[in-house]
Structure 1
Amino acid sequence: MSDEEAMAASRADPDAQPLTPEQLAKMRRVSHVKVLRQRLGMTQAEFAEAFHLPITTLRDWEQRRSTPDAPARALLLAIERDPQVMRKLLADGAA
């Protein structure tokens, strides 16, 4: 099936119509922090405990009530790049 045929088929499906600009404007983006946590398969409590974050802060980030500051963004980037190493480093530091 060509790209044009696939596009025509998708537009013919009444249950899969493209969103209007107005509908897109009403949608909220999912927090990057939430995506990271879910990709790791962790609950909020597990993520907060593993990476020494207050759970209330994590919830505020996920619900976009606040945004991570520069040091928190650096920690989140390190977690994203190598969660196992960060978990180990933080676990060793707690001892």
Structure 2
Amino acid sequence: MVRFTLDPENLPELTPEQRARLDAMTDAEITAAAESDPDNPPLTEDELRKMDAVRRVREVRARTGLSQARFARAYRINVARLRDLEQGRTQADSALMAYLTVIEREPEAVRRALETGSAA
């Protein structure tokens, strides 16, 4: 599999012909075209939710500036589970998503609480 990263400063653009064709299509025609593409079908609602959770886990950790190992240790999350979450191999349950929200909003308070609490 070939992977590449788009340069946000140099995003590809549609040609005028491509733009005119797209502008002339109805939403139903766009949806039908997407659904008929066997190589790139539209994502399901479940797939979209999973991607959102993956992005959220990564963003919360990134805001702390910690590596996966340090974040996992600091907030008592199994590092293998964190890695699997960030790579989309597993899904976060509602309790973990709520915990990530608390970490995002009050990271130092969570760390202090865990430092003074008993070790897990």
TM-score interval for Structure 1 and Structure 2 normalised by the shorter chain: 0.5 to 0.7
What TM-score do you get using the length of structure 2 for normalisation?
A: 0.55
Within the candidate set 41, 57, 63, 1:33 is matched to: 57
User: Which position in structure 1 is the counterpart of 2:47?
Assistant: none
Shift of 1:68: 1.1
Deviations 1:50-86 (A, max 9, x none): 0001000000110011111121111111101110101
State the structure with more CA Rg. Answer: 2
Cα deviation, residue 92, structure 1 = 1.0
Structure 2 CA distance for partners of 1:81 and 1:18, relative to 1, 3 Å: farther
Correspondence for 1:7: none
Divergent runs of 4+, >6 A: 19-23
Question: 1:80: which partner in 2?
Answer: 104
1:35-50 to structure 2, matched below 5 A, reads 35-50=59-74
Aligned-residue CA RMSD (Å): 2.9
Query: Paired residue for 1:58?
Result: 82
Provide the rounded CA distance (Å) in 1 between the counterparts of 2:74 and 2:103: 10
Q: For 1:9-20, list aligned pairs within 5 A.
A: 15-18=10-13
> Which stretches in structure 2 are left out of the alignment for 5+ residues?
1-9, 19-29, 35-39, 43-50
Q: Gaps spanning 5+ residues in structure 1: where?
A: 1-14
Alignment match, 1:68: 92
Question: Residue 99 of structure 2 aligns to which amino acid in structure 1?
Answer: L
CA-CA distance at 1:94 after TM superposition: 3.0
| Alpha-carbon contact 1:60-1:66 (below 8 Å) kept | yes
